[in-house]
Amino acid sequence: MKIKNICCIGAGYVGGPTMAVIAQKCPEINVTVVDINEKRIAAWNDEDVENIPIYEPGLSAIVKEARGRNLFFSTEVDKAIDEAELIFISVNTPTKTYGIGKGMAADLKYIELCARQIARVATTDKIIVEKSTLPVRTAEALKNILDNTGNGVNYQILSNPEFLAEGTAIEDLHKPDRILIGGDVDSEEGRKAMQALVDVYASWVPKEQILTTNVWSSELSKLTANAFLAQRVSSINAMSELCEHTGADVNEISKAIGMDSRIGPKFLKSSVGFGGSCFQKDILNLVYIAKSYGLNEVADYWEQVIIMNDHQKRRFAANIVKTLYNTVSGKKIAFLGWAFKKDTNDTREAAAIYVADHLLNEQADIVVYDPKVKAEQIYADLEALETHSSDEIHRRVKVVNTAQEACKDAHAVAVLTEWDEFKGLDWKAVYDDMLKPAFVFDGRNILDIQKLSQIGFVTSVIGQAVKSKKTMKEPSMAN
Ligand code: NAD
Ligand code: UGA
């Protein structure tokens, strides 16, 4: 079976970049990305490709190349469904905020709505691909809805989880470590559908990197991969706290253990805590699934990854308060970075949000600079927590356009995102503009601490003992 028309429901961080790359690499396939969010689709269609709604290095060039040729963004969901032989479902699957499983389970209402819409509209056989991250056995529910509410057409359900990371999405899509496709391996129709999707990816991905499995393994592999990655970050963050008490340096530890080929060097960067739309959501979902099978030890094991991550964010804020003589009330704290990692404008679950919230509890004034995040997003993130009134947030939090401006007259600077430009700041000029003693809290381990200490800063870095000019030679133990 040769695929000629693809529809992708959901024009978000996954749907947009993934379909752009498929369109780029498969010019013979028409790819239509649809969404109910009219504003988002309008932005994808903006004449100036720099205004597309998602910032990812390399993405705008691909959109420029393929848009209008074989890549289309539209709000006409029914039409795109009807025309396609293969439909990716790439809608959001957030943590449930109500009812059974509140705060833990994935909310599958958007997925179910897609299934019902496909069933209502489709008049020809379709391959339905789960691109969203879903609990294991969701394919069964999808199949049930499609078969029971459809027009008698045949559906094959595949699982094809996405492993891209934001900030490197295009690189990850161009050279994926693997493509995973799960399907009904026991039936002829299932194998044919899987082969059709394999053929799409084979246009640019070496065949040996395209893995086919049964559908449940594929669904659960995605949750497992995210859990393992997040667990590494929480593990190194747990060690970072021990480092601060013992004079060991967490960077040196990461290097030392990362050179063990069994451990490997990636995802060992200690930080103020992992953020992003998926790690927490997917682990909570995994914990919920384990609990629902009565596997309490499995659930507790993975829950600890989240507990450690919350602790890391909280203790970063608490350290700022403690270091600034136990009060930040009315003091100005400059935040460098708001996004959950560099090279993205995504702020979902960003550590900065929670650190800011803890500091607002202490009545701090916060001035934020992030090269890609807009002020309205920063205010919306804080308002969504519902812990402080909108008035208080607007009174206490300011958003500015340069790092230097953020740091002016500040008592302390906190690095929340590892944007490259923060490394190259004129730190002497920053120091001159700040109140003294001038404190820097590096939540990302990116600054040249020796240099900063020489300038006169008192520096506090995740996973290292506090340094100032006096303590540089012999690091004193943090307590
Ligand atoms: P997103 O919120 O950026 O995008 C989802 C889009 O789906 C939204 O624009 C929304 O309007 C649209 N949508 C929802 N219901 C719809 C419907 N019925 N019809 C049409 N459009 C609809 O989400 P995302 O970050 O792209 O994530 C999507 C899925 O991919 C999630 O399951 C997530 O866990 C998974 N995932 C995300 C990433 C990532 O880096 N963000 C990576 C891998 C996997
Ligand atoms: C992550 C996974 O890396 C992707 O494979 C997966 O597809 C995606 O989740 C998803 O399912 O959404 P993403 O969240 O975009 O990707 O970004 P990561 O690079 O994984 O970073 C996640 C968080 O961990 C960031 O806040 C980052 O700063 C932090 N992190 C990462 C560390 O603190 N230390 C590290 O060593 C690595």
Give me ligand 1 centre to Cα 88, in Å. 11
The Cα–Cα gap between 114 and 142 comes to 9
Which 3 state secondary structure label does DSSP give 397? Answer: strand
Give me ligand 2 centre to Cα 265, in Å. 15
Residue pointed to by tokens 């650190």: 355
Q: Alpha helices, DSSP H only, in 342-389?
A: 351-361, 375-385
The Cα–Cα gap between 142 and 155 comes to 10
162 ligand 2 Cβ < 6 A: yes
3-state helix, strand, coil in the chain (%, to 5): 45, 15, 40
- The 10s digit of each residue's pLDDT in 78-128 is 999 999 999 999 999 999 999 999 999 999 999 999 999 999 999 999 999
What is the model's pLDDT at position 465?
A: 76
The Cα–Cα gap between 113 and 95 comes to 17
- Residues classed as catalytic: 162, 222, 278
Give me ligand 1 centre to Cα 272, in Å. 26
The Cα–Cα gap between 42 and 73 comes to 8
The Cα–Cα gap between 241 and 222 comes to 29
Asked if pLDDT for residue 467 goes beyond 90, the answer is no
Give me ligand 1 centre to Cα 37, in Å. 11
Asked if pLDDT for residue 476 goes beyond 60, the answer is no
Minimum-distance ligand 1 atom for the alpha carbon of 113: 18
What is the model's pLDDT at position 385?
A: 97
Asked if pLDDT for residue 479 goes beyond 60, the answer is no
Partners of residue 303 on adjacent β-strands: none
- The 10s digit of each residue's pLDDT in 344-378 is 999 999 999 999 999 999 999 999 999 999 999 99
What is the model's pLDDT at position 34?
A: 98
Instruction: Give, using CA atoms, the residue closest to atom 28 of ligand 1.
Output: 92
13 ligand 1 Cβ < 6 A: yes
Q: Which ligand is nearest to the CA of 265?
A: 2
- The 10s digit of each residue's pLDDT in 272-286 is 999 999 999 999 999
221 ligand 2 Cβ < 6 A: no
Give me the mean pLDDT over the 411-434 stretch. Answer: 98
Q: How far apart are the first and last CA of the chain?
A: 65
166 ligand 1 Cβ < 6 A: yes
Q: What confidence category does residue 460 fall into, taking pLDDT thresholds of 50, 70 and 90?
A: very high
